[in-house]
Amino acid sequence: MLDASITPLDLQRESEVLEINQVKTAEQFDELVQKVKKNTFYSMVVFLSANQSLPVEWMLNQFTETPYVVFIGIKGNKLLPIYNYLETVGLMSTVKSSNQKYDSLLPSIINYLHENIENSSFNLLTVSEKFNISSSYLSKIFKKYYGIGIKQYLIKQRINKAKLMLQNGFSVTYTCKKVGYGDLTHFSKTFKKMEGISPLNYKKRVYVDRKDSKR
């Protein structure tokens, strides 16, 4: 059972659970309680919420005959550990399909992304061809588990590496090439968009901060 912050389809697509309801109000919660009490085929009720607590009016002690478990602080892109846990304790049967095969490739895909940070021609199509997955499906599963698309992930990693290089005294031009940008202007614009400051000014700021810290 889910509160309004979790989408039922997030769970429905990946499992063979008996039933999924989205609970938004106290009235819907009471209806759920009555439904569970009337039926004996529920082995357990599972609550998922992105909030840090369930509403106080949801009186969980009404589940006198059916055990329940509560997961709070859950984000949509962090559902995989929940799937794995429920499957481990026998409460969820994950669908065995080609999706699982592709999902298991994600660690290899991440490594491949990091290995090609310097490649300026590296993009989503490159990755999809490497792992023989359609670009649209690859984008879908990547965003599902990591919360951002491959393009955004790659930009973030490139800018993080650029910051480290600038902190270590490398020139902006050299850094630009080593993080996969063939155009200095594009690199500078992207860096400023991400960090709110140009690469050159970032490097200068690091130098000044270090100088001040030694005084």
Each of the 215 residues of the chain gets a pLDDT tens digit; together they read 444 444 444 444 444 344 455 666 777 777 777 776 666 555 677 777 777 777 767 777 776 667 777 777 776 556 666 666 665 555 544 444 445 566 678 888 999 999 999 999 998 899 989 988 888 888 888 888 888 889 999 999 999 999 999 999 999 999 999 999 999 999 999 999 999 999 999 999 988 887 777 66
pLDDT at 90: 54
Rg (CA), the chain: 24
| pTM of the predicted model as reported, rounded to 2 decimal places | 0.53
pLDDT at 83: 65
Q: Please report the DSSP string for 60-87 in residue order.
A: GGG-SSS-EEEE-S--GGG-HHHHHHHH
Domains and their CATH numbers in the chain: 2-88 (no CATH), 97-215 (1.10.10.60)
pLDDT at 2: 43
Q: Are 124 and 151 a contacting pair, CB within 8 Å?
A: yes
DSSP state of 2: E
pLDDT at 42: 58
pLDDT at 36: 66
Q: Are 48 and 68 a contacting pair, CB within 8 Å?
A: no
pLDDT at 155: 94
**H-helix or E-strand containing 111?**
helix 106-115
- Measured at the CA of 41, the angle between CA 38 and CA 46, to 5 degrees, comes to 90
